[in-house]
Amino acid sequence: MKKYNFSAGPAILPAEVMKEAGAACVNFNNSGFSILEISHRSADFSAVLAEAEALVREIGGIGEEFAVLFLSGGASSQFFMAPMNLLDDSGKAVYVDTGSWAAKAVKESKAFGPTEVLASSKADNYTHIPKGYTIPADATYLHLTSNNTIFGTQLAEYPETDVPLVVDMSSDMFSRPFPVDRFGIIYAGAQKNLGPAGVTLVIVRKDLLGKVDRHIPTMLNYNTHIEKGSTFNTPPVFPIYVMMLTLRWVKAQGGLEAVAKNNEEKAAVLYKEIDENPMFAGTVTQKEDRSLMNVTFVMADEYKELEGQFLEACKAAGCMSVKGHRSVGGFRASIYNAMPKEGIETLVKVMQDFRAAHA
Protein backbone atom coordinates (compact mmCIF):
# COMPACT_ATOMS: atom_id res chain seq x y z
CA MET A 1 0.00 0.00 0.00
CA LYS A 2 1.23 3.49 -0.86
CA LYS A 3 1.76 5.61 2.26
CA TYR A 4 1.32 9.39 2.33
CA ASN A 5 3.21 11.48 4.86
CA PHE A 6 0.98 14.27 6.22
CA SER A 7 3.48 15.23 8.92
CA ALA A 8 4.06 18.93 9.67
CA GLY A 9 7.82 18.53 9.62
CA PRO A 10 10.22 16.99 8.98
CA ALA A 11 7.89 16.41 6.10
CA ILE A 12 7.30 14.86 2.72
CA LEU A 13 9.85 15.59 -0.01
CA PRO A 14 9.51 14.81 -3.72
CA ALA A 15 10.10 11.10 -4.29
CA GLU A 16 12.67 11.79 -7.02
CA VAL A 17 14.62 14.06 -4.66
CA MET A 18 14.85 11.34 -2.03
CA LYS A 19 15.93 8.81 -4.65
CA GLU A 20 18.70 11.04 -5.95
CA ALA A 21 19.81 11.97 -2.42
CA GLY A 22 19.98 8.25 -1.59
CA ALA A 23 22.18 7.54 -4.60
CA ALA A 24 24.46 10.47 -3.69
CA CYS A 25 24.98 8.92 -0.25
CA VAL A 26 26.68 6.03 -2.03
CA ASN A 27 28.42 7.74 -4.94
CA PHE A 28 28.12 11.49 -5.42
CA ASN A 29 28.67 12.84 -8.95
CA ASN A 30 30.51 9.64 -9.89
CA SER A 31 33.32 10.80 -7.62
CA GLY A 32 33.59 7.48 -5.82
CA PHE A 33 32.78 9.35 -2.59
CA SER A 34 29.56 9.77 -0.66
CA ILE A 35 28.06 13.25 -0.30
CA LEU A 36 28.31 12.49 3.43
CA GLU A 37 32.11 12.42 3.42
CA ILE A 38 33.17 15.15 1.01
CA SER A 39 34.80 18.36 2.21
CA HIS A 40 32.66 21.45 2.46
CA ARG A 41 35.50 23.18 0.61
CA SER A 42 35.69 20.66 -2.25
CA ALA A 43 34.93 21.78 -5.80
CA ASP A 44 31.98 19.39 -5.86
CA PHE A 45 30.36 20.93 -2.80
CA SER A 46 31.17 24.50 -3.84
CA ALA A 47 29.19 23.78 -7.00
CA VAL A 48 26.24 22.55 -4.89
CA LEU A 49 26.28 25.68 -2.76
CA ALA A 50 26.51 27.93 -5.82
CA GLU A 51 23.65 26.14 -7.55
CA ALA A 52 21.47 26.23 -4.41
CA GLU A 53 22.00 29.98 -4.11
CA ALA A 54 21.39 30.56 -7.82
CA LEU A 55 18.15 28.56 -7.63
CA VAL A 56 16.93 30.49 -4.57
CA ARG A 57 17.59 33.73 -6.46
CA GLU A 58 15.97 32.53 -9.67
CA ILE A 59 12.89 30.94 -8.08
CA GLY A 60 12.29 33.79 -5.62
CA GLY A 61 13.38 36.66 -7.87
CA ILE A 62 15.94 37.62 -5.21
CA GLY A 63 18.30 40.41 -6.32
CA GLU A 64 21.88 41.21 -5.36
CA GLU A 65 20.74 43.60 -2.61
CA PHE A 66 19.98 40.43 -0.65
CA ALA A 67 22.41 37.83 0.68
CA VAL A 68 21.31 34.19 0.54
CA LEU A 69 22.61 32.18 3.49
CA PHE A 70 22.47 28.54 4.51
CA LEU A 71 22.76 28.45 8.29
CA SER A 72 22.28 25.98 11.10
CA GLY A 73 20.43 26.39 14.39
CA GLY A 74 16.94 26.08 12.92
CA ALA A 75 14.36 28.79 12.41
CA SER A 76 14.34 29.09 16.21
CA SER A 77 17.82 30.65 16.13
CA GLN A 78 16.52 33.32 13.76
CA PHE A 79 14.08 34.38 16.50
CA PHE A 80 17.10 35.92 18.29
CA MET A 81 19.57 36.36 15.44
CA ALA A 82 17.30 38.76 13.53
CA PRO A 83 16.80 41.20 16.45
CA MET A 84 20.42 40.79 17.57
CA ASN A 85 21.56 42.00 14.14
CA LEU A 86 18.88 44.62 13.44
CA LEU A 87 17.55 46.03 16.71
CA ASP A 88 18.98 48.05 19.56
CA ASP A 89 17.62 50.57 22.03
CA SER A 90 17.49 53.29 19.39
CA GLY A 91 14.94 51.34 17.35
CA LYS A 92 11.65 49.51 17.79
CA ALA A 93 10.60 46.11 16.53
CA VAL A 94 6.93 45.40 15.95
CA TYR A 95 5.42 41.92 15.82
CA VAL A 96 2.12 40.32 14.92
CA ASP A 97 1.39 37.40 17.24
CA THR A 98 -0.31 34.74 15.12
CA GLY A 99 0.76 31.58 16.93
CA SER A 100 3.20 29.82 19.23
CA TRP A 101 6.15 30.36 16.87
CA ALA A 102 5.41 34.06 16.58
CA ALA A 103 5.18 34.31 20.38
CA LYS A 104 8.58 32.66 20.69
CA ALA A 105 10.03 35.22 18.29
CA VAL A 106 8.54 38.08 20.36
CA LYS A 107 10.09 36.69 23.53
CA GLU A 108 13.60 36.68 22.01
CA SER A 109 13.31 40.16 20.51
CA LYS A 110 12.59 41.71 23.91
CA ALA A 111 16.17 40.96 24.97
CA PHE A 112 17.59 43.17 22.21
CA GLY A 113 15.47 46.31 22.17
CA PRO A 114 12.00 47.84 22.36
CA THR A 115 9.51 45.28 21.10
CA GLU A 116 5.82 45.87 20.59
CA VAL A 117 3.09 43.40 19.70
CA LEU A 118 0.80 45.24 17.28
CA ALA A 119 -1.91 42.59 17.22
CA SER A 120 -2.53 39.11 18.56
CA SER A 121 -5.13 36.40 18.10
CA LYS A 122 -3.95 34.51 21.17
CA ALA A 123 -7.19 35.19 23.09
CA ASP A 124 -9.01 33.24 20.34
CA ASN A 125 -6.48 30.41 20.46
CA TYR A 126 -4.97 31.73 17.21
CA THR A 127 -7.95 30.62 15.10
CA HIS A 128 -7.62 33.63 12.80
CA ILE A 129 -5.07 36.17 11.58
CA PRO A 130 -5.45 39.58 13.26
CA LYS A 131 -6.05 42.43 10.82
CA GLY A 132 -6.62 46.16 10.84
CA TYR A 133 -3.55 47.08 12.89
CA THR A 134 -1.47 50.16 12.15
CA ILE A 135 2.21 49.73 11.40
CA PRO A 136 4.24 52.58 12.95
CA ALA A 137 6.23 54.21 10.14
CA ASP A 138 9.30 54.52 12.38
CA ALA A 139 9.49 50.81 13.24
CA THR A 140 12.84 49.12 12.57
CA TYR A 141 11.05 46.10 11.19
CA LEU A 142 7.73 44.27 11.28
CA HIS A 143 7.98 40.57 12.11
CA LEU A 144 5.38 38.22 10.67
CA THR A 145 4.90 34.48 10.57
CA SER A 146 3.58 33.82 7.07
CA ASN A 147 2.11 30.42 7.88
CA ASN A 148 1.20 29.17 11.32
CA THR A 149 2.07 25.50 11.17
CA ILE A 150 0.27 24.52 14.36
CA PHE A 151 -2.95 26.51 13.98
CA GLY A 152 -3.48 26.14 10.22
CA THR A 153 -3.62 29.83 9.38
CA GLN A 154 -1.71 31.69 6.68
CA LEU A 155 -1.33 35.33 5.69
CA ALA A 156 -3.28 35.70 2.46
CA GLU A 157 -1.30 38.86 1.67
CA TYR A 158 1.70 40.73 3.03
CA PRO A 159 0.96 44.24 4.30
CA GLU A 160 1.83 47.16 2.03
CA THR A 161 4.40 49.09 4.03
CA ASP A 162 7.81 50.71 3.76
CA VAL A 163 8.82 49.15 7.09
CA PRO A 164 11.05 46.15 6.23
CA LEU A 165 9.30 42.83 6.82
CA VAL A 166 11.14 40.15 8.76
CA VAL A 167 9.24 36.98 8.01
CA ASP A 168 9.34 33.47 9.36
CA MET A 169 8.41 31.53 6.20
CA SER A 170 9.37 28.14 7.64
CA SER A 171 6.19 26.38 6.67
CA ASP A 172 5.28 28.02 3.37
CA MET A 173 8.61 28.99 1.83
CA PHE A 174 8.50 28.69 -1.95
CA SER A 175 4.88 27.55 -1.92
CA ARG A 176 3.72 30.76 -3.64
CA PRO A 177 5.17 34.04 -5.02
CA PHE A 178 5.95 36.85 -2.56
CA PRO A 179 6.70 40.60 -2.95
CA VAL A 180 10.48 40.49 -2.49
CA ASP A 181 10.98 44.25 -2.36
CA ARG A 182 9.06 44.53 0.92
CA PHE A 183 11.33 42.15 2.80
CA GLY A 184 14.25 42.79 5.14
CA ILE A 185 14.80 39.18 6.19
CA ILE A 186 13.15 35.95 5.17
CA TYR A 187 14.03 32.82 7.11
CA ALA A 188 12.84 29.26 6.84
CA GLY A 189 13.83 26.02 8.52
CA ALA A 190 14.20 23.60 5.63
CA GLN A 191 12.29 20.66 7.02
CA LYS A 192 8.87 21.44 5.52
CA ASN A 193 9.04 22.65 1.95
CA LEU A 194 12.75 22.83 1.26
CA GLY A 195 14.60 19.75 2.39
CA PRO A 196 15.56 17.78 5.48
CA ALA A 197 16.12 19.23 8.96
CA GLY A 198 19.52 20.77 9.62
CA VAL A 199 19.71 23.85 7.41
CA THR A 200 17.88 27.16 7.61
CA LEU A 201 17.55 29.33 4.54
CA VAL A 202 18.07 33.01 5.41
CA ILE A 203 17.66 35.83 2.90
CA VAL A 204 18.90 39.17 4.26
CA ARG A 205 18.80 42.68 2.80
CA LYS A 206 22.43 43.68 3.21
CA ASP A 207 21.89 47.42 3.75
CA LEU A 208 20.01 46.74 7.00
CA LEU A 209 23.09 45.26 8.65
CA GLY A 210 25.91 46.82 10.63
CA LYS A 211 23.74 49.47 12.25
CA VAL A 212 23.33 48.19 15.80
CA ASP A 213 25.53 49.26 18.65
CA ARG A 214 26.50 45.98 20.30
CA HIS A 215 29.01 43.19 20.09
CA ILE A 216 27.55 40.37 18.00
CA PRO A 217 29.26 36.99 18.50
CA THR A 218 31.01 36.00 15.27
CA MET A 219 28.79 32.99 14.52
CA LEU A 220 25.62 35.00 15.13
CA ASN A 221 26.58 37.90 12.90
CA TYR A 222 24.98 37.69 9.45
CA ASN A 223 27.95 39.58 8.02
CA THR A 224 30.30 36.73 9.00
CA HIS A 225 28.31 34.30 6.89
CA ILE A 226 27.87 36.78 4.05
CA GLU A 227 31.63 37.39 3.87
CA LYS A 228 32.39 33.66 3.93
CA GLY A 229 29.60 32.51 1.62
CA SER A 230 28.00 30.31 4.31
CA THR A 231 31.30 28.47 4.88
CA PHE A 232 32.73 30.37 7.87
CA ASN A 233 32.35 27.06 9.69
CA THR A 234 31.34 23.64 8.35
CA PRO A 235 27.85 24.09 6.92
CA PRO A 236 25.28 21.26 6.91
CA VAL A 237 26.53 19.74 3.69
CA PHE A 238 23.93 17.02 3.17
CA PRO A 239 20.83 19.13 4.01
CA ILE A 240 22.10 21.85 1.66
CA TYR A 241 22.56 19.26 -1.08
CA VAL A 242 19.01 17.95 -0.61
CA MET A 243 17.69 21.51 -0.58
CA MET A 244 19.44 22.12 -3.88
CA LEU A 245 17.75 19.02 -5.35
CA THR A 246 14.38 20.19 -4.00
CA LEU A 247 14.88 23.63 -5.54
CA ARG A 248 15.65 22.00 -8.90
CA TRP A 249 12.34 20.19 -8.50
CA VAL A 250 10.48 23.44 -7.69
CA LYS A 251 11.94 24.98 -10.83
CA ALA A 252 10.98 21.97 -12.91
CA GLN A 253 7.38 22.29 -11.64
CA GLY A 254 7.29 25.65 -13.40
CA GLY A 255 8.35 27.88 -10.49
CA LEU A 256 6.28 29.58 -7.83
CA GLU A 257 3.24 30.50 -9.94
CA ALA A 258 2.76 26.89 -10.98
CA VAL A 259 3.48 25.54 -7.51
CA ALA A 260 0.99 28.01 -5.97
CA LYS A 261 -1.74 27.04 -8.42
CA ASN A 262 -1.21 23.39 -7.60
CA ASN A 263 -1.25 24.11 -3.85
CA GLU A 264 -4.49 26.08 -4.16
CA GLU A 265 -6.15 23.24 -6.05
CA LYS A 266 -4.95 20.61 -3.58
CA ALA A 267 -6.09 22.57 -0.52
CA ALA A 268 -9.48 23.35 -2.12
CA VAL A 269 -10.24 19.63 -2.47
CA LEU A 270 -9.59 19.00 1.22
CA TYR A 271 -11.37 22.11 2.54
CA LYS A 272 -14.40 21.29 0.37
CA GLU A 273 -14.70 17.92 2.08
CA ILE A 274 -14.24 19.46 5.54
CA ASP A 275 -17.03 21.95 4.78
CA GLU A 276 -19.41 19.42 3.24
CA ASN A 277 -18.89 16.44 5.50
CA PRO A 278 -21.05 16.78 8.64
CA MET A 279 -18.63 14.68 10.68
CA PHE A 280 -15.86 17.28 10.47
CA ALA A 281 -15.38 20.99 11.12
CA GLY A 282 -12.58 23.37 10.20
CA THR A 283 -10.82 25.15 13.08
CA VAL A 284 -9.94 28.43 11.34
CA THR A 285 -12.79 30.91 11.82
CA GLN A 286 -12.22 33.11 8.74
CA LYS A 287 -11.97 31.24 5.48
CA GLU A 288 -9.50 33.71 3.96
CA ASP A 289 -7.04 32.83 6.77
CA ARG A 290 -7.00 29.11 5.99
CA SER A 291 -3.56 27.71 5.35
CA LEU A 292 -2.83 26.00 2.04
CA MET A 293 -0.02 24.09 3.78
CA ASN A 294 -1.41 22.84 7.11
CA VAL A 295 -5.09 21.99 7.02
CA THR A 296 -6.48 21.80 10.57
CA PHE A 297 -9.86 20.33 11.43
CA VAL A 298 -11.68 18.52 14.20
CA MET A 299 -14.42 15.95 14.60
CA ALA A 300 -17.82 17.71 14.78
CA ASP A 301 -19.08 17.89 18.39
CA GLU A 302 -21.58 15.05 18.13
CA TYR A 303 -18.91 12.65 16.80
CA LYS A 304 -16.05 13.61 19.12
CA GLU A 305 -15.71 10.11 20.56
CA LEU A 306 -14.86 8.80 17.07
CA GLU A 307 -11.62 10.80 16.82
CA GLY A 308 -9.37 7.84 17.61
CA GLN A 309 -11.26 5.65 15.17
CA PHE A 310 -10.86 8.21 12.41
CA LEU A 311 -7.10 8.34 12.96
CA GLU A 312 -7.02 4.54 12.75
CA ALA A 313 -8.98 4.70 9.47
CA CYS A 314 -6.46 7.21 8.10
CA LYS A 315 -3.56 4.93 9.00
CA ALA A 316 -5.29 1.90 7.49
CA ALA A 317 -5.55 3.81 4.20
CA GLY A 318 -1.90 4.88 4.30
CA CYS A 319 -2.55 8.48 5.41
CA MET A 320 0.06 8.93 8.13
CA SER A 321 0.53 11.63 10.82
CA VAL A 322 -2.89 13.24 10.51
CA LYS A 323 -3.08 13.83 14.28
CA GLY A 324 -3.20 17.52 15.25
CA HIS A 325 -0.42 19.24 17.20
CA ARG A 326 -0.46 18.27 20.88
CA SER A 327 -1.38 21.86 21.88
CA VAL A 328 -4.46 21.95 19.64
CA GLY A 329 -5.73 18.38 19.24
CA GLY A 330 -7.98 17.24 16.40
CA PHE A 331 -6.40 16.71 13.01
CA ARG A 332 -3.83 18.38 10.83
CA ALA A 333 -3.04 17.35 7.29
CA SER A 334 0.17 19.01 6.15
CA ILE A 335 0.08 19.20 2.37
CA TYR A 336 3.34 20.88 1.41
CA ASN A 337 4.52 21.31 -2.19
CA ALA A 338 5.58 17.68 -2.48
CA MET A 339 2.24 16.16 -1.38
CA PRO A 340 0.74 14.65 -4.53
CA LYS A 341 -2.93 15.16 -5.40
CA GLU A 342 -3.48 11.43 -4.92
CA GLY A 343 -2.50 11.79 -1.26
CA ILE A 344 -5.26 14.31 -0.73
CA GLU A 345 -7.76 12.28 -2.72
CA THR A 346 -6.93 9.28 -0.55
CA LEU A 347 -7.55 11.27 2.64
CA VAL A 348 -10.82 12.67 1.27
CA LYS A 349 -11.94 9.13 0.45
CA VAL A 350 -11.23 8.09 4.06
CA MET A 351 -13.39 11.00 5.26
CA GLN A 352 -16.20 10.06 2.88
CA ASP A 353 -16.08 6.38 3.83
CA PHE A 354 -16.08 7.37 7.50
CA ARG A 355 -19.21 9.43 6.92
CA ALA A 356 -20.91 6.56 5.10
CA ALA A 357 -20.10 4.24 8.01
CA HIS A 358 -20.98 6.53 10.92
CA ALA A 359 -23.15 9.54 10.02
Task: With residue 319 as reference, give the H or E element that holds it.
Answer: strand 319-320
Q: What single letter denotes the amino acid at residue 103?
A: A
> Of 28 and 196, which CB lies nearer to ligand PMP in the complex structure?
196
- Rounded distance, CA 183 to CA 63, Å? 12
Separation in Å, CA 356 to CA 127, 227, 268, 277, 297: 29, 61, 22, 10, 19
Nearest approach, Cβ of residue 245 and ligand PMP (Å): 19
Sheet arrangement for strand 331-334: 280-282, 294-299, 331-334
Nearest approach, Cβ of residue 101 and ligand PMP (Å): 4
Nearest approach, Cβ of residue 176 and ligand PMP (Å): 15
Within 96-125, the residues that bind ligand PMP by CB under 6 A are: 101
In 178-234 the beta strands, taken as DSSP E runs, fall at 183-189, 200-205
As beta bridge partners, residue 5 has: 320
Separation in Å, CA 347 to CA 187, 260, 342: 31, 21, 9
Within 143-182, the residues that bind ligand PMP by CB under 6 A are: 145, 149, 168, 170-171
What mask of x and - would describe binding to ligand PMP in positions 1 to 30, judged by CB under 6 A?
Answer: --------x---------------------
Q: Which of 19, 44, 92, 101 is catalytic?
A: 101
Residue nearest to ligand PMP (CB): 74
- Residue 101 bears catalytic tag: yes
Question: Is residue 244 a contact partner of residue 55, using CB atoms and an 8 Å limit?
Answer: yes
Sheet arrangement for strand 115-120: 66-71, 200-205, 183-189, 165-168, 141-145, 93-97, 115-120
Give the residue among 92, 82, 53, 36 at the shortest CA–CA distance from 234. Answer: 36
- Rounded distance, CA 4 to CA 336, Å? 12
For the annotated binding site for L-glutamate, the residues are 41
> Of 74 and 340, which CB lies nearer to ligand PMP in the complex structure?
74
Number of residues that bind ligand PMP (CB under 6 A): 11
As beta bridge partners, residue 153 has: 148, 290
Q: Which of 97, 168, 172, 289 is catalytic?
A: 168
For the annotated binding site for pyridoxal 5'-phosphate, the residues are 75-76, 101, 149, 168, 191, 233-234
- Residue 192 bears catalytic tag: yes
Nearest approach, Cβ of residue 290 and ligand PMP (Å): 16
- Rounded distance, CA 116 to CA 189, Å? 25
What is the DSSP annotation of 131-168? --PPPPTT-SEEEEESEETTTTEE-SS----SSPEEEE
How many Cα atoms within 13 Å fall on the side-chain side of residue 180?
19
Nearest approach, Cβ of residue 110 and ligand PMP (Å): 17
What mask of x and - would describe binding to ligand PMP in positions 52 to 81, judged by CB under 6 A?
Answer: ----------------------xxx-----
Name the phi and psi angles at 325, rounded to 5.
Answer: -60, 145
Nearest approach, Cβ of residue 169 and ligand PMP (Å): 8
Nearest approach, Cβ of residue 21 and ligand PMP (Å): 19
Within 182-221, the residues that bind ligand PMP by CB under 6 A are: 189
Q: Which of 97, 172, 192, 323 is catalytic?
A: 192
- Rounded distance, CA 45 to CA 24, Å? 12
* Catalytic site positions: 101, 168, 192
Positions in the binding site for ligand PMP (CB under 6 A): 9, 74-76, 101, 145, 149, 168, 170-171, 189
